[in-house]
Structure 1
Amino acid sequence: MKPELSIQLMDTHAGGDVSRIVTGGIDLLPGDTVRAQMEYLRDDADGLRRLLLEEPYGIPEMSVDLLVPATDPRAAAGYIIMEVMGYPIYSGSNTICTATAVLESGIVEKREGRQHFMLESPAGLVNIEATVRDGVVEAITCEGLPSYIDTYKASIHVPDLGEVTYSVAYSGGFYALVDARELGFQLNMDEEQALSRTAYAIVEAIQAERGFSHYTLGDVGPLPFLHFMGPVEHVADGYYRSRSATYVHPGVICRSTTGTGTSARLALMNYEGSIRPGDRLETISLRETGFIGEFTSVEQAGDYQVVKNSITGKGYVIARSDIVVNCDDPMVECGSLHHILSSRHRHNLSTPGNADVLPSGND
């Protein structure tokens, strides 16, 4: 008999963006850092990402986060982010969901009130603050990546749209930032498909005209993302709100406003001198969900003002399941997957037997 191959999942969402947290069924990956393990998945085992984001198991709008043992002893767990466009080194919504999952699965013991621990992403260590009330994870605050403005108010001709004004921020990926009203959008649900088509046209035009290079990372690939910005409302002293929508892939407008999109907005507001350290921006999605970004500090790095920030949101557990991987199924391609599927045992990171693999990160 063939051994049954299965993958253990905890499905979560933050702001409407579904993140499938892989908690077991995958062998330990080679690599002495989480970044190196991500690169191994990307180059030698991309079948896991495609399996869980494509039919019959998933859809492109989802994300996948593979829990792995942290390589830094200060972190409670590591995680590798997989999305339809590839392997981003960081994501706010995925981090909120992963932090929620490690608490709900017992990798980190929940404590009433506020508690702190670290996760290890491909971008490095991430500080997490969790708020727990009556045993429920009510909020997760995570560090956003240092963000900055690369390009301010450039102009590009886009077929069928004409001249479009855009800025470019880096916040874990390069983002084109455009004014939604200038393009005729109010950022409502009935505009979702039109937003996707418009964003695709703008991103394609920018990619064809120019590339972008991070001041320390160098070439991180072509600009993939676009963020539609609604008007900024001054709600209270140091508190702002804005409708927003983030495009990440042809046909895909994120359900949430995204953490990295919110970080990009903070970088732009700092560049324009409209916020100060300590100020917060709440971004509101087409589905009326929101994240809160806080501008914590700014530092000069060469020619760039680099904004440090944090993102706060709430993650929800929506399912726990085992995916049965049938390599005889003509819709399942196991060629770049079978060598990391665990058929000898269930390597479930949340079970007590693996407590030595993922020690508690409570402080």
Structure 2
Amino acid sequence: MKTRHSIQLMDTHAGGDVSRIVTGGIDPLPGKTVREQMEYLRDNADGLRELLLFEPYGIPEMSVDLIVPATNPEAAAGYIIMEVMGYPIYSGSNTLCTATAVLEAGIVEKREGVQHFKLEAPAGLVNIEATVKDGVVEPITCEGLPSYIDTYHASIHVPGIGDVTYSVAYSGGFYALVDAEQLGFKLVREEERALAESAYKIVEAIKAERGFSHYTLGDVGPLPFLHFMGPEEQVADGYIRSRSTTYVHPGVICRSTTGTGTSARLALMNHEGRLNIGDKLETVSLRETGFIGTFTGRHQQGNFQVVENTITGRSYVLANSEIVINCDDPMVNCGKLHHILTDR
């Protein structure tokens, strides 16, 4: 086995959440679908995720997106999402970043004005609308996953906090939705550590009490996420703005409000009968960045009213780089990824 390898990256961010897009250096993965390729990576080569998210190359607050050939002929490219908690089948911020990267890298031809194409996520096809101005990719609108409310206004006693009222939505992962004001939070930057600590306690208490099952996917694992909801401001007819914060892992608060968190909020507003087709929700983060969720439709799936939606945001390119992987480095474990490296 060679002791030195290289991987090509494009670092991007959407709303402050950094996504490292892997554009080269990885061999094609086995699998008839992007979902199967994701499962292979998860089960047989998790070293790539660990390499790029932890020391000495990265930090847990980042995400990684591996661009792979699409298996669906309608898609321009596929992508596999890797985060500190594992392999989500969909992510709004990662989709915004990947859509920007495939345009900036020339994988999809960049044309002035508005253009449309599809990407293939592990969750399936995602429609993308991109705006290019003066050769620069500006706003991206992507489909959010169909979202619904599983649990509405349940209560749980959380040690160290007290009784907490929460709802649970599915929007690509299960989210506990909590009113920030009931816990005394204003959702400002100075509260970031306290928000992470409170969210951890609430999520662990809910996980200890119960699990959740998707109506078609079944068991998708224990509750991973919590979304703090701030007060709503009516900006215009059909347009609401709200401060928001998403917790994804012990100690990790997302820099952005997250696309899936925004979709979860839309599902809650629909459940409460407060949405009309075309209505928008702008979520604003601790860092004053935002995503706009648009309610595009609803349909019934068994006992659940499912919300169709889109997420609009902007991703920025931070760097193009080639990292050197030195397998002699005691801080680098090549054992779980050497077999997928192109230059092995």
TM-score scaled by length of structure 1: 0.94
Question: Residue 22 of structure 1 contacts residue 67 of structure 1 at CA under 8 Å; is this kept in 2?
Answer: yes
Which residue number in structure 1 is paired with residue 75 of structure 2?
A: 75
Query: Quick one: distance in 1 between partners of 2:111 and 2:319?
Result: 23
Which residue number in structure 2 is paired with residue 243 of structure 1?
A: 243
**Amino acid of the structure 2 residue aligned with 1:333:** N
**Amino acid of the structure 2 residue aligned with 1:217:** L
Give the C-alpha shift of residue 277 in structure 1: 1.3
Give the C-alpha shift of residue 136 in structure 1: 1.1
Question: Residue 3 of structure 1 contacts residue 343 of structure 1 at CA under 8 Å; is this kept in 2?
Answer: no
Query: Quick one: distance in 1 between partners of 2:205 and 2:141?
Result: 35
Taking the TM superposition and a 5 Å limit, the aligned residue runs for 1:239-318 are 239-318=239-318
What residue ranges of structure 1 are gaps of 5+ in the alignment?
345-363
* SS of aligned partner of 2:94: helix
Which residue number in structure 2 is paired with residue 30 of structure 1?
A: 30
Question: Residue 45 of structure 2 contacts residue 340 of structure 2 at CA under 8 Å; is this kept in 1?
Answer: yes
* SS of aligned partner of 1:266: helix
Which residue number in structure 1 is paired with residue 186 of structure 2?
A: 186
Give the C-alpha shift of residue 46 in structure 1: 0.2
Residue by residue, what CA displacement relative to the aligned partner does 1:159-211 show, whole Å, maximum 9, x if unpaired?
Answer: 01110000000000000000000000000000000000000000000000000
Give the C-alpha shift of residue 274 in structure 1: 1.3
**Amino acid of the structure 2 residue aligned with 1:340:** I
Query: Quick one: distance in 2 between partners of 1:324 and 1:141?
Result: 34
Which residue number in structure 2 is paired with residue 65 of structure 1?
A: 65
Query: Quick one: distance in 2 between partners of 1:215 and 1:239?
Result: 30
Give the C-alpha shift of residue 3 in structure 1: 6.5
Query: Quick one: distance in 2 between partners of 1:303 and 1:130?
Result: 35
Which residue number in structure 1 is paired with residue 95 of structure 2?
A: 95
Taking the TM superposition and a 5 Å limit, the aligned residue runs for 1:141-152 are 141-152=141-152
Question: Residue 4 of structure 2 contacts residue 327 of structure 2 at CA under 8 Å; is this kept in 1?
Answer: no
Taking the TM superposition and a 5 Å limit, the aligned residue runs for 1:103-182 are 103-182=103-182
What residue ranges of structure 2 are gaps of 5+ in the alignment?
none
**Amino acid of the structure 1 residue aligned with 2:246:** T
* SS of aligned partner of 1:22: strand
* SS of aligned partner of 1:21: strand
Query: Quick one: distance in 2 between partners of 1:175 and 1:222?
Result: 10
Question: Residue 31 of structure 2 contacts residue 40 of structure 2 at CA under 8 Å; is this kept in 1?
Answer: yes
Percentage of identical aligned residues? 81
Residue by residue, what CA displacement relative to the aligned partner does 1:115-135 show, whole Å, maximum 9, x if unpaired?
Answer: 000000000000000011111
Give the C-alpha shift of residue 151 in structure 1: 0.1
**Amino acid of the structure 2 residue aligned with 1:155:** S
Question: Residue 3 of structure 2 contacts residue 326 of structure 2 at CA under 8 Å; is this kept in 1?
Answer: no
* SS of aligned partner of 2:200: helix
**Amino acid of the structure 2 residue aligned with 1:208:** A
| Range 257-266 or range 319-328, more displaced | 319-328
Give the C-alpha shift of residue 2 in structure 1: 4.2
Query: Quick one: distance in 2 between partners of 1:337 and 1:302?
Result: 42
Count of residues paired in the alignment: 344
Give the C-alpha shift of residue 11 in structure 1: 0.1
